[in-house]
Amino acid sequence: MDSLSVSTTDVRIERHANQLSRQLKLLRDKLFPPLSQKTLRTFTSGEAAQMIGVSDGYLRQLSLDGKGPSPDVSATGRRSYTLAQINELRQHMAKLKPKDALAYLPWRRPGEKLQTIAVTNFKGGSAKTTTTLYLAQYLALNGYRVLAVDLDPQASLSSMLGLQPEFDLAEGDTLYGAIRYDENRKPLREIIRKTYIDGLDLVAGNLELMEFEHETPRALSDRRHSSGEMFFNRVGVAINEVESDYDVVVIDCPPQLGYLTLGAVCAATSLLITIHPQMVDVASMSQFLLMTADLLSVVRNAGGDLRHDFIKYVVTRHEPFDAPQSQIVALLRSLFGEDVLTATILKSTAIADAGLTKQTLYEIERGQVRRSTYDRALESVNAANGEVLAGLHKAWGRT
């Protein structure tokens, strides 16, 4: 009789875990040798000029005059810029033209408070992570200082941003490290890491985040003895530590309404609720919304902050030529009105395929995918992100 047949389930599963982990590590070392960090592509001078808001000619003159960062020049004389250089030029232009500074450098000004957007839905697979990622990258490419927070123990956002959460993180390297109840808590600033995208920082996630779900009930029952923050304030308190470093924080929530999600909702200044417009997904929504409202009112009565600048539903993986989907979208619009973003994020093989190679449409070059598919998908994402940005501007009192 071999040892397998006598091993109990816990032993067997542990063995599987170790086998898998070893194999994944081997694979990873082969695919991503330790030094091959993910990088963001560079931008042509035309793209850079458009992103900065100047003409290509002006940008060329700056480079000829030796002002600002020097772009990479190819053998044929083509100039290309990194995002860091584009951001440097944004600062340069803002200094040069203080009256139009905001048009070049959109950082928030005194009096404009940090915006925190929680991307959430109880439904698994409703494109929360994709929506978070595209929004965070969109804002960073537009010159905002962005912090992305991965609150999902599955850590798909972290891995889309180039991390291997199973290997790259030590204990306490997730948001859990900053919100835990014991004395090992550390400042959020020590947990935040830069990404390969200038202006976009990350609080990574991994399974460790589950600890918060396990420990919170204990902390609640020990409350008489402890004096720490309530669970629903902890995410917000941690984010406040780095308030001055960012313009926008975007939080990818796990697909349950647990303590982490409730913390994110309380920390948020606005909510983005992703909806996949399919009957099976929408059917349970009314019941779920009631349950959410119930839970949130408990949190509010206990002192949680549930005022939000805006709450928007965003239709994702939308197939506009699918009749049942159209009916659901029409229903949502008639019921929730302006709370549904006008733009929808289209279902697209370009988004799905780019997801497989851990890239977004913002990262790949036009031409790597069929042009019409790429353009249509990117247009829909940009339109949705543009509406969210308009909401942020409104919250800041910008016109």
Ligand X SMILES: Nc1ncnc2c1ncn2[C@@H]1O[C@H](COP(=O)(O)OP(=O)(O)OP(=O)(O)O)[C@@H](O)[C@H]1O
Nearest-angstrom CA–CA distance, 20 and 187: 33
The Cα–Cα gap between 274 and 258 comes to 17
Q: Please give the Cα distance from 60 to 38 (Å, whole number).
A: 29
Site for ligand X contains 351 (CB under 6 A) = yes
* Cβ atoms of 387 and 272 closer than 8 Å: no
Site for ligand X in 282-321 (CB under 6 A): 316-317
Provide the b/e sequence for 46-57 (b: ≥16 CB within 10 Å): ebbbebbebeee
Q: Which of Mg ion, ligand X, none does residue 347 bind to, with CB < 5 to 8 Å depending on kind?
A: ligand X
Q: Write down the least CB distance from residue 358 to ligand X, Å.
A: 10
- Name the DSSP class of 209: G
Query: Identity (one letter) of the amino acid at 170?
Result: A
> In the complex, what is the shortest distance from the CB of residue 100 to ligand X, in angstroms, rounded to a whole number?
35
Residue from 128, 234, 276, 317 binding Mg ion (CB under 5 A): 128
Tell the smallest beta-carbon distance from residue 343 to ligand X (Å): 12
Contacting ligand X within 9-68 (CB under 6 A): none
**CB of residue 75 vs ligand X: minimum separation in angstroms?**
38
Indicate whether 359 belongs to the interface with ligand X (CB under 6 A). Answer: no
Cβ-based nearer residue to ligand X, 124 or 320 = 124
Residue placing its CB nearer to ligand X in the complex, 325 or 348: 348
Closer to ligand X by Cβ: residue 105 or 146: 146
Number of residues interacting with ligand X: please give it, by CB under 6 A. Answer: 19
> For residue 153, what is the DSSP state?
T
Q: List the one residue from 45, 115, 129, 348 that touches Mg ion (CB under 5 A).
A: 129
Q: Give the interface segment with Mg ion, choosing from 125-133, 176-184, 352-360, 377-385 (CB under 5 A).
A: 125-133
Is the Cβ of residue 154 or residue 195 nearer to ligand X in the bound state? 154
Instruction: Closer to ligand X by CB, 93 or 315: give it.
Output: 315
Our CB check for ligand X shows the closer of 80 and 368 to be 368
Q: Is 348 in the site for ligand X (CB under 6 A)?
A: yes
Q: Of 345, 369, 384, 388, which lies in the binding site for ligand X, with binding defined by CB under 6 A?
A: 345
Residue 385 binds which one of Mg ion, ligand X, none, with CB within 5 to 8 A depending on kind? none
Contact 362, 346 (CB under 8 A): no
Q: Which helix (H) or strand (E) segment is 243 a member of?
A: none
Cβ atoms of residues 332 and 340 within 8 Å: yes
Binding mask 98-137 for ligand X (x = CB under 6 A): --------------------------xxxxxxx-------
Q: Which two tokens stand for residue 6?
A: 């006598």
Q: Residue 380 class from Cβ within 10 Å (0-12 exposed, 13-18 middle, 19+ buried)?
A: buried
Work out whether strand 248-252 and strand 115-120 pair parallel, antiparallel, or are unpaired.
parallel
Site for ligand X contains 270 (CB under 6 A): no
* Owner of token pair 């905002």: 144
Closer residue to Mg ion, CB minimum distance, 48 or 119: 119
Residue with tokens 């595209």: 134
> What residue spans of the chain are helical by DSSP H?
3-6, 9-31, 45-52, 56-64, 83-96, 101-104, 128-141, 156-160, 165-168, 176-179, 210-221, 231-240, 259-267, 279-283, 285-301, 323-336, 349-356, 371-396
- Nearest CA to 304 out of 273, 272, 252, 265 is that of 265
Name the residue with tokens 């948001």. 175
Q: Which of Mg ion, ligand X, none interacts with 124 (beta carbon under 5 to 8 A by kind)? A: ligand X
Minimum distance from residue 114 beta carbon to ligand X (Å): 24
Nearer to ligand X, 61 or 256 (CB): 256
User: In angstroms, what is the minimal distance from the CB of 140 to ligand X?
Assistant: 18
Near ligand X by CB under 6 A: residue from 11, 20, 73, 352: 352
344 binds ligand X (CB under 6 A): no
- From 79-87, 332-340, 345-353, 365-373, give the range in contact with ligand X by CB under 6 A: 345-353
For residues 362 and 368, what is the distance between their CA atoms, to the nearest angstrom? 12
By CB under 5 A, name the binding residues for Mg ion: 128-129, 156
By CB under 6 A, name the binding residues for ligand X: 124-130, 152, 156, 255, 316-317, 345-348, 351-352, 355
